[in-house]
Amino acid sequence: MLDVLEAFLVSGEELHGFAVAKAAGKPTGSIYPILARLEQAGWLDSHWETEHPKEGRPRRRFYVLTSNGAQEARSVIMERRGKLPSPAVEQPRPRPEFGFLTRWTGA
């Protein structure tokens, strides 16, 4: 459960179940029961994907920490692990040195 909570704290955004499993490094079969328990406890909110998925892929259910869930998650992780996970920080893309190169690199 701690790995799942950390995945949400690090991302800072809503995640679908497979993304949570990937971020937590756990199989989906163990992730979905945890997500259900966290939602039932009021730590997560969820909603189904509203747009039509690509052919061959089922609709995804997205989960997000509630404000209370985020507070509780931080508290539990501090208690159990002694430190909070670092939030994901997007690294800036390197820019070309010469302006004319942007046309060729797509930047």
Distance between CA atoms of 3 and 78, rounded to whole angstroms?
Answer: 13
**The CATH number of the domain where 78 resides is what?**
1.10.10.10
pLDDT tens profile 18-66: 999 999 999 999 999 999 999 999 999 999 998 877 888 888 999 999 9
Distance between CA atoms of 96 and 103, rounded to whole angstroms?
Answer: 10
Domain annotation covers residue 104: no
Asked if residue 58 lies in contact with residue 81, where contact means CB atoms within 8 angstroms, the answer is no
Q: Which residue has the tokens 């061959």?
A: 56
pLDDT tens profile 69-91: 999 999 998 898 887 776 665 54
Domain annotation covers residue 63: yes
Name the residue among 29, 37, 32, 2 with its Cα closest to residue 15. Answer: 32
Q: pTM higher than 0.85 for the full model?
A: no
Domain with 7, as residue range(s), is 2-90
**Structural domain count, the chain:** 1
Domain annotation covers residue 10: yes
Domain annotation covers residue 57: yes
